[in-house]
Amino acid sequence: MKTPGKMFFTVAALCVVLAVMAGVTSYSVTLYRLFCAATGANGTTQRVAVDDAARSDRVVTVFFDTSVSPALPWKFAPVQRSVKLHLGQDALVFFTAENDSNQDLVGHATFNVTPEKAGSYFKKIQCFCFTEERLAAHQKVEMPVDFFVDPRLATDPNTEDVHEITLSYTFFHSMKPEGATDLARFASAPADAAAGGKLFAENCSACHGLETSKIGPALAGVVGRKSGVVAGYPYSAALAHAGLVWTAVNLDKWLADPQMFVPGAQMPMRVNDAVQRRDIVAYLQSVSKRGS
């Protein structure tokens, strides 16, 4: 027969066990998320402060997929459907979110990558995921995601067949709206020359150098310069005689639709997104003294 003292310690021990089990249950979602973030399990991407990886010759295509819970009346979509990049190359992409309702709402985004075995090699520098985000009634914003794919993906035998990766986001109605950050910070964000430099490297540098001409003319000092004046570059007749000065406004119009802005121009590329154009122009302004 147990003494009262032994019974007390037995009951106390059981209470401790139950308390621990209750605590683990309460935090199981958080613990599982931390486990996935640390290991890349379940296609969970990794978070890093900067891209310090060496660029690899291997190229992968990253696709973007979005969805929204039926309980959240938002539109949510990628600005670009995919990007092709070298392993180790920093990429900046944008997603739009729009609140279709008549009230401010708080959403919460989750994400994963497929194939799941690529999760530990997908490194995010900047992201709006796993935070409570408030979007005002009928407001629309563009949200950046800055990432790279670790070059070690190329040395892992388990991922040697990975040439395409899909990054998927889902926005849910938040159950904990208190303390949410405001997505309006993206709508009111000033031009970002650093972001523009990344966008220039991804979208423009194949055709334009800063100091040297490639398929297109050199662009150092382009802001404030007259059109058609880079020595030795074979401009189209339309651009050579356009008589433009490359102000920030004219560069934005040019990037939006070159052939509409200067009929007869030969540049085939357009930058449809206004935020990306703004940041690219800010970058060109930041290097404008190089060619002056």
Distance of CA 26 to the CA centre of its chain: 32
pLDDT for 128 equals 84
Q: Is the pLDDT of residue 158 over 50?
A: yes
Q: Judge whether residue 4 has pLDDT over 60.
A: no
Using DSSP's 3-state secondary structure scheme, residue 225 falls into coil
Helical pair 4-26 and 28-39, crossing angle rounded to 10 deg: 60
Q: What integer pLDDT is reported at residue 14 of this predicted model?
A: 53
Q: What is the rounded average pLDDT for all residues in the chain?
A: 84
Residue 233's CB is within 10 A of a number of other CB atoms, namely: 14
- Residue 188's pLDDT band, with cuts at 50, 70 and 90, is confident
Residue 208's pLDDT is what?
94
Residues 223 and 215: their CA atoms lie apart, in Å, by 19
The pLDDT, as a whole number, for residue 28 is 37
Greatest extent of the chain over all pairs of C-alpha atoms, in Å: 106
Beta partners for residue 149, in sequence order:
122
- Are 242 and 228 a contacting pair, CB within 8 Å? yes
CA-angle at 254, arms to 250 and 259, nearest 5°: 135
Query: Which one is predicted more confidently, 128 or 35?
Result: 128
User: What pLDDT shows up at residue 215?
Assistant: 92
Which long-range CB contacts under 8 A does 229-233 form with residues at least 24 apart?
none
Query: For residue range 22-71, what is the model confidence (pLDDT) as tens digits?
Result: 444 333 333 334 434 444 444 455 556 656 778 889 999 999 999 999 99
The fraction of the chain above a pLDDT of 70, given in percent, is 81
Mean pLDDT of 193-215: 92
With contact defined as beta carbons under 8 Å apart, do 210 and 223 qualify?
no
β-sheet bridge partners, residue 79 = none
Number of Cα atoms under 13 Å in the Cβ half of residue 76: 25
pLDDT classification of 129: cutoffs 50, 70, 90:
confident
Residue 185 — very low, low, confident or very high, per pLDDT cuts 50/70/90? confident
CA gap 174, 182 in Å, rounded: 13
Q: For tokens 């075995």, name the residue.
A: 117
The residue ranking higher by pLDDT, 220 or 1, is 220
The answer to whether the CB of 103 falls within 8 A of the CB of 137 is yes
Q: Which of 132-136, 144-148, 234-238, 265-269 has the highest mean pLDDT?
A: 132-136
For residue 229, what pLDDT is reported?
A: 92
Q: What domains, with CATH codes, occur in the chain?
A: 44-187 (2.60.370.10), 193-291 (1.10.760.10)
Instruction: Indicate if the pLDDT at residue 90 is higher than 70.
Output: yes
Residues shown for the chain: 292
pLDDT at 288: 79
Check residue 230 and report its DSSP letter. S
pTM > 0.85? no
**pLDDT tens by residue, 244-286:** 899 898 899 999 989 889 999 889 888 888 889 999 999 999 9
